[in-house]
A and B are shown apart, each in its own frame.
Chain A
Amino acid sequence: MPMSWILTLSVTLALTAPLPPSLHAFPADDSPQSEVTEAQQTAATAALAKLQERINAAWEEYMLPYREAKTDEEREAIQLDPKKSPTVVFLPEMLEFTRIHAGTDACLEALQEVMMMAARDEESGWVLDKVVDTVLVDFIEDEGVKELVRFAHYNPPSAANLRLLRAVADRSPHRTARASAYYSLSKILAAEKDTRAESRRLLDRLLKEYADVTFVRQTTYGDLVQGDIFELEHLQIGHVAPEIIGKKIDGNLMQLSAFRGKVVLLDFWGDW
């Protein structure tokens, strides 16, 4: 069966199917979600792929000066217009996508991208709140929210980010999603002295109840949390630096404490 026929069929189905009531902009009430049909899922996935293709092409074009520059001086002289960044240009269209395809898997994926886009653009802070509202109404029961919260501690700090994490931690029926939310929260709370005790409580809870949950690949939250607890207890400002005894690049032994009496810049680095 030709591929194009399947696509045509699903797109046609999606266009002719009556829109369920939840398909309106950022539902304000907690009305029960309507079932999303298979055809709507397929159409949304295809539409997102097309949109992403256009965004990728826009990035290629936006970054073209860097590829064409021949010397470091030329590269340093490049001044890109932040208003023409694909992040800014495509944000409205991505938001529109999440509205049209509300409730689909592709919508959740798009929401994740919108969140990253909005986080990178100073003037789009309001978008984060919209995204979080949508997630909490349409996807709080969906295990896919774990993708949204797993690396949320790398998002620029915002009230919306914290609201999302606390809601997923409290309300998700999936322990994988709750584990991701607890961990991201613990990372964010560890940054401030006042909230470090709460961070520690979350880490202890992860270790006790969620140690087996996968973070990425072979790494579990149990593996991760050990390092974070050590960091909270021994690697904060004001703590005596833990001893390092190891081999230098030339093979000879060295220890960090041998540098006592000097101010030391300890630099973890790699030339990649």
Chain B
Amino acid sequence: MYPHERSLVEKHPADQFAIVGVNSESTIEAARDAVKKNNLTWKNFYDGGTSGPISTRWNVNGWPTTYVIDSSGVIRYKDVRGDDLDAAIEALLAELNAREDDEGTR
């Protein structure tokens, strides 16, 4: 998962795409080590364990669980992986760019 995520961050411009992690390690030290070890460059909430407040509210019972959210903050995909994840992100970026072009020409 990590190499794929790193490639997504490298591929897409930082002002259009971001990964936001919610880490459920049982200690903050373990969370810091995991970020360092896997060379993660993106931002992460720390949730304090698998039954932390964010995971509980988002009803997460399995890890990883992923959501893809569009530029308006709307949930558009749940738990897509691999090539499907690439395609999902590209579709939403295309929407975002089409909208920006639209506003630019108005």
Identify the A interface with B (CB < 8 A): 227-228, 230-231, 235-242, 244, 246-249, 254, 256-257, 259-272
Which single member of B24, B28, B78 contacts A269 (CB below 8 Å)?
B24
Query: Within the complex, what minimum Cβ distance (angstroms) separates B8 from chain A?
Result: 7
Report yes or no: A265 in contact with B58, Cβ–Cβ below 8 A: no
Total A-B contacts with CB atoms under 8 angstroms apart: 149
Binding site for A on B (CB under 8 A): 1, 5, 8, 12, 15-25, 28, 30-35, 37-38, 43-47, 50, 53-60, 63-78, 85, 89, 92-93, 96
- Summarize A's interface: helix, strand, loop or mixed: mixed
What residues on A are CB-neighbors of B68 within 8 Å? 263-266
Decide if A262 touches B56 in the complex (CB within 8 Å).
no
Q: How far is the CA of A257 from the CA of B74 in the complex (A)?
A: 11
Q: Name which residue of chain A comes closest to B72, CB basis.
A: A260
A268→B24 contact, CB < 8 A: yes
- For B34, the chain A residues whose CB sits under 8 A away are 270-271
**In the complex, given contacts A240-B73, A246-B54, what are 19 additional A-B residue pairs having Cβ atoms less than 8 angstroms apart?**
A236-B75, A238-B74, A246-B47, A248-B46, A249-B31, A249-B44, A249-B46, A260-B72, A262-B15, A262-B16, A263-B70, A264-B18, A265-B69, A266-B22, A267-B22, A267-B66, A269-B22, A270-B34, A271-B25
* A263/B71 contact (C-beta < 8 A), A246-B46, A248-B44 known: yes
**Are A248 and B37 touching (Cβ within 8 A)?**
no
